[in-house]
Amino acid sequence: MNYKISHPSKIVTCKVNLPASKSISNRLLIIQALCNNKFTINNLSDSDDTIALKKALHTDHNEINVGAAGTTFRFLASFLAIQRGKEFILTGTKRIKERPIKNLVSTLRSLGAKICYLEKEGFAPLKIKGTVQADTRSDSGVEILVTDIDVVHISEEYPIALKDHGVSFLMDNRHLWLRSKKQFAIIKIRQRLIKSIRDFFDSRDFVLVDSPMFTGNAVEGTTTLFETEYFNRSAYLTQSGQLYQEAAAMAFGKTYCFGPCFRAEKSKTRKHLTEFWMVEPEMAYCDIHQNMDIIEEFMSYIVADCLEHCVEELKILERDVSKLSNISSPFPRISYDEAVDILHKNNHEFEYGSDFGAPDEEMLATQFDKPVMVHSWPHETKAFYMKRDKTDKYALGVDVIAPEGYGEIVGGGQREDEHDLLVKRIKGHGLPVSAFKWYLDLRKYGSVPHSGFGLGLERMVSWVCGIDHIRQTIPFPRTMGRLEP
């Protein structure tokens, strides 16, 4: 129970603990004697509490540290504060209906104190005034010598108690769960990664070109599109901004977009969201090998920046930063065929020509202590826009698999830059050529070799933070079964 006790001549505000003690009734006489100046310090035994009380009685300072000693000192020093005209807040008991507490309130009122107490316990935002000073005992390294406290608002009983809760309950209360220490740290790290991503591209003369959210065509295929009515025709929420970045790269040379993407995958895994953020750079006159060089440099930069600026947040999450400190160029590069050989040599069942699933990626990741780049994929596994090598067997694509089982974190490759071949690829994937007229124009009017990639922000946050589910990496996640809050 929280009490606010004030005196007409306010000098200072402090916070004390009122114990729910059986001896409260007996102390009332001492309080009355003290406040009526009929009590001398010599009547107390020479305990640690009374030594501290002696100092409080004989000091001229307006501040009394009521939390430094035991119950007796806190109890008596509180009322010494009233006698000196000080205002303070008492906290620490729920026993308002018990007679000793009622007697205490009556006694204080008889001494001229104005008493306000809260009927319910709850979350109370405070405005605190005071002096900040160094203190090695504090986790933050500082303490505040409080001179004033203002209770801004008294809330209802807080729904998230200090106990274990189920994930469903916490996600239902995501709007409140964000206030918890770990969730706060995750979102702060997310913010830092966003800044470092933008800083990387902006400092290297990439031009930010925003891709549209509504599109009339698919990028990765038609089975994972969110379809909506768009003025008497169908439109889709974007799966990727890549196609528009290819147009922008032909104009500006190096571009990127950074925004939300949407995929209607009916997946309930810990690595999938239906709405997620992705950064997608695109570069003219860039082949697959130069593209991989940029990916290495980019990932090394943002991890190092996060390690430098998110020290406290990573401590809160108890992240083993030694595993992140090793993330620097060069990254191991292996072909798809070499990756399959690694899986088979480790007795891992895998069918050649398939895309890698989560167990396959995890197995590959155990073989390296850095992100591993898997390139030169069977073209059947990749999108229609991927350029093929001279054998026409492999697509010049690359997937980057993060360590520690976090899976694919970057996907990219070199784009097909020949018009007729691209038309053939579009038809081969069962897509309507008419929907890609503008995209094909890029190959008709000044086409050059170009490459790019996409990094999923939430997967990056998940890896850097060392958390096991992607839903905690975005403020308000959207999944198959969640549209609120």
Q: What is the pLDDT of residues 385-394, one digit of tens each?
A: 999 999 999 9
pLDDT in tens, 144-158: 777 777 777 767 778
Same domain? 293 vs 247: yes
**What confidence category does residue 15 fall into, taking pLDDT thresholds of 50, 70 and 90?**
very low
pLDDT per position as a tens digit, 31-90 = 444 444 433 333 334 444 445 444 544 444 333 333 333 444 444 445 554 454 444 344
What confidence score (pLDDT) does residue 319 get? Answer: 96
Q: What is the pLDDT of residue 74?
A: 45
How confident is the model over 246-275, as a mean pLDDT?
A: 92
Q: What is the pLDDT of residue 357?
A: 92
- Whether 390 is covered by a domain: the verdict is yes
443 and 297 part of one domain: yes
- Residue 409: C-alpha distances to residues 190, 387, 406 (Å): 15, 21, 8
Residues 72 and 173 in one domain: no
Q: What is the pLDDT of residue 138?
A: 77
Whether the model pTM is above 0.85: no
Q: Whole domain around residue 126: which residue ranges?
A: 3-151
Regarding whether 176 and 112 lie in a shared domain, the answer is no
CATH for 178 = 3.30.930.10
Report yes or no on 160 lying in a domain. no
Residue 478 lies in a domain: no
Structural domains of the chain, count: 2
pLDDT band at residue 305 using 50, 70 and 90 as cut-offs: very high
Burial 324-356 (b: 16+ CB within 10 A, else e): beebeeebebbebeebbebbeeeeeebeeeeeb
Strand-pairing partners, residue 279, are: 258, 455
Burial class, 71, CB count within 10 angstroms (exposed 0-12 / middle 13-18 / buried 19+): middle
The mean pLDDT of the chain is 80
- Indicate if 386 and 291 belong to the same structural domain: yes
Q: Do residues 456 and 326 share a domain?
A: yes
Is 249 inside a domain boundary?
A: yes
- Are 199 and 100 in the same domain? no
Shared domain for 206 and 112, answered yes or no, is: no
Asked whether residue 222 falls in the same domain as residue 299, the answer is yes
CB 256 within 8 A of CB 239: no
**In contact, 204 and 321? CB cutoff 8 Å:** no
Average pLDDT value for residue range 231-243: 92
pLDDT value of position 355: 94
The maximal CA–CA distance of the chain, rounded, in angstroms, is 103
The pLDDT of residue 117 is: 43
Query: Residue 160's pLDDT band (boundaries 50, 70, 90)?
Result: confident
